[in-house]
Homo-oligomer: A and B are copies of this chain.
Amino acid sequence: MSFAGGKNENIKTEMMTSSPYEWLKYCVDLLENFNVLEPSMEKSQRVKKIDFTLNEKCESDDKILKLCEDVIKNSVLTNHPHFHNQLYGGTDPYGLVGGFITEALNTNQVTFEIAPVFTLIESELYRKLSSLIGIINGDGIFSPGGSLNNMYAMVLARYKLNPDIKKKGVYCMNKLVAFTSEDSHYSIMKGVNWIGIGIDNVIKIKTDDFGKMIPDHLEKMIIKTKEEGRVPFFVNVTAGTTVLGAFDPIEIINDICSKYNLWMHVDACWGGSLLFSKKYSKVLKGLNKADSVSWNPHKMLGAPLQCSIFLTKHKEILHECNSASATYLFQQDKFYDVSYDTGDKSVQCGRKVDCFKLWLMWKARGDTGFEKLVDQAMECSRYFKDKITNRPGFQLVLPEFECTNVCFWYIPVRLRNMEQTDEWWNELEKVAPKIKEQLTYAGSLMIGYQPLNHKNFKNFFRMVITCHPIRTYQHMDYVIEQIELWGEKI
């Protein structure tokens, strides 16, 4: 297929020779027939050979199409069953269709007049999700991701404590202090820098052996902070930590938050998808008591990036705290019901439509379809865990865990059955990066590794299972085979 046509001039200002949809059909054929997990090392060299330079003059349509092909072939195929590198991965095919349509309709989630259907879809999603959690009469906003959601939570929490902050800044009261566990996501630290209270005013609460926040330590630190004359205002509870997949005890922490009148935010970006599973959702008990909840359907559930929801049980606060009432968008003399214009709740102005892909997935699968998908991912993680327990060369980081993260060390034969001294650990620390390097050269498996310094854990693998593409036990066996294969060659 060639798109070379009557376009020989050096400046293209018209539409392309063919319709973009013709191009698209060509590209989807490429995408459909491309099933290599990642650019192997040889390819990685090739990546840098792509002509990235932007010039004064245009390129021919044939060259552009060739570049599309190069980009596709040299990208990581996250939609591959052996991609376990991050908390996201393949996309739900219904979500992908939704994403494509969204892209083509190119509008903005700011007023009803330019996004009539999407406004109603967004509203249905807040209703449905709130009802699943047990939040009554709350409100929500789609945002570009969990980090922004955590900032939403902190900004609303301090506004609720003292609405003057919107006008006067944080200067109008004593230093605000936020609490989060040492295993929580780093976005809390980035967020407190942005919202102006500074990272010294975050207290990191200790976690137990399983990575869960220790409520006693939280209460102690709240009391201490108050004694210092600082003002506790916010507790971030993690439901599914990034590395270990741990769930903080929501109900116990909620009691403490109630006692000291603190906003309880639950960062369920990763673990929130367990909500759909009757079997595995008990770790989310108490979620209905949260002042706010953050959940990323673009993680475990496989909505295409970006798809992230912030919910709060305080109906009017998003609007009260964030509104600026721009007259060129939120005219009050419109001829339709302007309560449909929801954009002023957001800290953004233009806001990409992120709701449609999730809605389409949900329509197509129902709660029960999501449940089956989540259960399947969880079952695979259980199978994986059982299979490496007591298997020579594998050592679990945690004996028990409640999400699909399986953390483990691989110990090559030369290091087995030895005393695990400091020197031994220093040696083992080099193993995971080295195996990862080999896997990348081979292009056969993508899996993450990291240390966890506050637990004194040296580099270990974090195997993550998401809902898409749907994984089987055979995929789990493959991971073990690959780790063993390359682990013994280094």
Contacts and interface: CB of A to CB of B under 8 A. Distances in A.
A90 B106 contact: yes
Contacts of A115: 75-76
11 contacts: A13-B376, A14-B470, A52-B120, A57-B367, A76-B113, A144-B351, A155-B194, A169-B175, A169-B200, A170-B171, A194-B194
A120 B47 contact: yes
A107 interface: yes
A101 B116 contact: no
Interface string A409-420: 000000000000
A259 interface: no
Given A75-B105, A103-B103, 11 more contacts: A16-B364, A23-B97, A31-B105, A64-B94, A71-B117, A75-B107, A144-B348, A147-B350, A167-B198, A194-B347, A335-B436
Interface in A456-476: 459, 462, 470
Contacts of A52: 120-121, 124, 359
A169 B299 CA distance: 32
Contacts of A117: 47, 50, 70-71, 74-75
Contact of A145 (B79, B169, B325, B348): B348
Interface string A137-157: 000000011111001000100
A329 B368 CA distance: 33
B116 A75 contact: yes
A333 interface: yes
Contacts of A437: 335
A197 B194 contact: no
Of the listed residues A27, A52, A70, A462, the one surrounded by the most CB atoms of chain B closer than 10 A to its CB is A52
B54 A124 contact: yes
Contact of A195 (B195, B325, B363): B195
A11 B369 contact: yes
A427 to B, nearest CB: 13
Interface in A1-35: 10-16, 19-21, 23-25, 27-29, 31-32
User: Copy number in this complex?
Assistant: 2
B116 A74 contact: yes
Interface string A176-210: 00000000011101111111111111000000000
A321 interface: yes
A114 interface: yes
A196 B155 CA distance: 9
Contact of A64 (B61, B64, B100, B363): B363
Contact of A326 (B124, B186, B201): B186
A448 interface: yes
A449 B331 contact: yes
Given A103-B103, A306-B352, A327-B451, A170 B167 contact: no
Interface string A312-336: 0000000001101111110101111
Given A25-B28, A190-B347, A350-B88, A116 B47 contact: yes
A304 interface: yes
Contacts of A120: 47-48, 50, 52
B187 A171 contact: no
Contacts of A74: 116-117
Interface residues of A, number: 162
Of the listed residues A28, A56, A118, the one surrounded by the most CB atoms of chain B closer than 10 A to its CB is A28
A116 B57 contact: no
Of the listed residues A68, A200, A363, A453, the one surrounded by the most CB atoms of chain B closer than 10 A to its CB is A363
A44 interface: yes
A118 to B, nearest CB: 7
B15 A93 contact: yes
B27 A97 contact: yes
B324 A186 contact: yes
A438 B224 CA distance: 63
A275 interface: no
B352 A305 contact: yes
Which 3 pairs across A and B sit closest by C-beta, in order of nearness? A196-B196, A169-B198, A20-B93
A347 B151 CA distance: 10
B367 A56 contact: yes
A401 interface: no
A168 interface: yes
B103 A196 contact: no
Interface string A397-424: 0000000000000000000000000000
